[in-house]
Structure 1
Amino acid sequence: MRALTWHGKHDVRMDTVPDPEILNPRDAIIKITSTAICGSDLHLYDAYIPTLKAGDILGHEFMGEVVEVGAKSTLKKGQRVVVPFTIACGSCYHCSKTQFSACDNGLPADNQDIAQELYGQPMSGLFGYSHMTGGYAGGQAEYVRVPFSDVGPIVIPDGIDDDKVLFLSDILPTGWMAAENADIEPGDTVAVWGCGPVGLFAVQSAFLMGAARVIAIDHFPNRLALAKQFGAETINFEETQTYEALMLMTGGIGPDAVIDAVGLEAHGFFVDNVIDQIKASTFLGTDRIHSIRQAILACRKGGRVSMPAVYGGFVDKFPLGAFMEKGLTLKTGQTHVQRYLPGLLAAIMEGKIDTTFLISHRMDLEQAPEGYKMFHDQQNEVTKIVLKPGLGA
């Protein structure tokens, strides 16, 4: 089959690789009909995430048709399914609490030591996202093996276009959980750093959860314009001092809740960000954390901090004193996708949530390397690329 493979920094290629096979009775094989390039994939493209190996198949946002099932799979051949990016067993201690991204069995035994050493405990497995998260082949391919297929995938009713439901695999549940973790109360003012796909879904979700005001922060005009479509007020951090603007907009109190949807590759010519960039480039540090620093300092006293953004390693200059003195609460983590799928699918079918506004480009799977470069270099024009095998045939 054809698949997108990683070979180094800014080096991804379409290769012919062996077809996936059933390895466990709970497995299923999915023929991909739609897959997408995620902002988190750019961390791999930039070689920020460790334990990738040359030839690894990328991609964690995908859906398709079931073509083969193991003896214990609950899926049936011919069903259309969306597959969560988190791989979870459904029966361990954490899964019983619907904490699917903390699953004890999502990682193969051979991969658990890596995460244990870096994070203290292993997390769930992830598709196409390094050997630290299981070394699973991803879905930017013609076919993919889905472990625990009796737990993760959600069956899509006939007549619903892929574009409407594809993002159930990751970014829609992630944006929803980001807003949920902000503990939004009716009448709240919520500030969202980053108007990429997750940030935009967090904006949409925050309004659905009762926020009176959402303030979206970014520097790409097109992405800020998309946030405005949902009723958000906006701050362009290249034109305005973000902290000062938030204080002015909230009467000096600060937002009730803040959401960091930027993560470890924060942009902007700020002193702390430049220092972080130098440390990362000289292997003295890993993450650029300007956005979470700013969010903590801007949040009102007694407020809530939600951090759906990806961070990978150790950081310094974290405003721990401000966090403690202001009495803030932080919630974060990989998304418990399986928890949210039924409700979000129902909301899409009822017309309460729109996902298609985000798609800026549709490309053939064979154009994936070009798509990665476009997404990396043209983030104002490119909001989401959907790849479809055979689109150009």
Structure 2
Amino acid sequence: MIRIPDKVFELRCGGSPAADLYPYVEYVEVDESVDGSSFTIRLRLSAGPDGEWNHLSDERFTPFARLGVSLGFTGGGLAGAPTAAGGLLSPGGSGPEPLAEGYVIGTALRLSGRDAHLDVFCQDPWAVLGQEEKVVAWPDLSDSDIAEQILTAAGFAADVTTVPPLRQSDDTLVVQRGTDASFLRALARRNGFEVRFVPEGDGNRCRFGPPGLDGTPQPDLAIRFGATSNLRSFEATLDGRRPLSVRAAQLVPGTRQEATVEVGEPAHHRTGRTGLAALTADTLARAARPLRTPGALLLTATPTADPSELQQQAQAARDEAAWFVEAAGEINSDAYGHVLRAGRSVLVKGAGSLHSGAYYVTRVVHRMRPEGEYRQRFEARRNAVGLEGSESFGGGAPGLSLPGL
């Protein structure tokens, strides 16, 4: 018999546990995304003898006060008993996982004839990085150098993937016009990177780098897969209108010579066997009469004196265009027994040979109530369909030999 571990959440105010709030918590909701995370805590209110509502004046909920949330499982089941994800339940469980560490950005008082609530709205460090519009020149630096300097100056630990080129100010001068938040996201986008904050200890580490497609997948998600099913719902949408190649051209400053690049293949690790170009090659050629190449995207790139940077920007646009399958679903958390995380891959089974396989999780909305209800809704995407054959599904043989896919 499968025993389900008990669930747990933890609140931290200013880095310290806030156990006194637990009796008043209606729910905790964390919206974790590769684009940034936010979270909401709903508290029950009661009026004192003076008619004032408790918690309304709590200094811990002042805008830009620090607040954090952890959710997880304590391991209330049998040690060594199988879980719905195919692993073994360890004694004591893994405990709560830090999901979001950020700042209060506002509150909402909600009163009705019977109930009184306070919603506390919080956001990860993007909240403070978006508070100042500025104009700053960044001479003689690469995009990764700029990102690291912005983050360390703001007091955040940085995990930055180095990228060329190191620009010379007499050729190309990078100028920031806007907030640190918008500028960091623009730097990441033109390199095909993500920039996201990951809770670490009582703070955050910012990761500026490519999507985490190469790590160990999270425990499997299964739909209509008998006793190992742990999804309440799952849907996958394939969009065949995505670009199949990216072309960029510009006049190189100084020489006024034309530099042209064209990128046909994505550089990111493929999530399946067949990309969109291979899937539609024959049918699109019959349906369209292109001037040059079917499915081509013309990129307006940032002017640069280095042709390799033009190539880099075109490759980033091609990698983004390659995500042609979008998926969404709801997890049966009692059956899954794990906290699904955004920014990591997961294997899905039971969706047929086309849509089973690896997905990159881009968003998970977690909602937990003190009485034990834990809901997880997720979004994910793929840049290829079908099974590669190297997938290692938990609790079964690897790849195509697993029945019912």
Q: Return the TM-score normalized by structure 2.
A: 0.24
Q: Which has the larger radius of gyration?
A: 2
More helix by share: 1
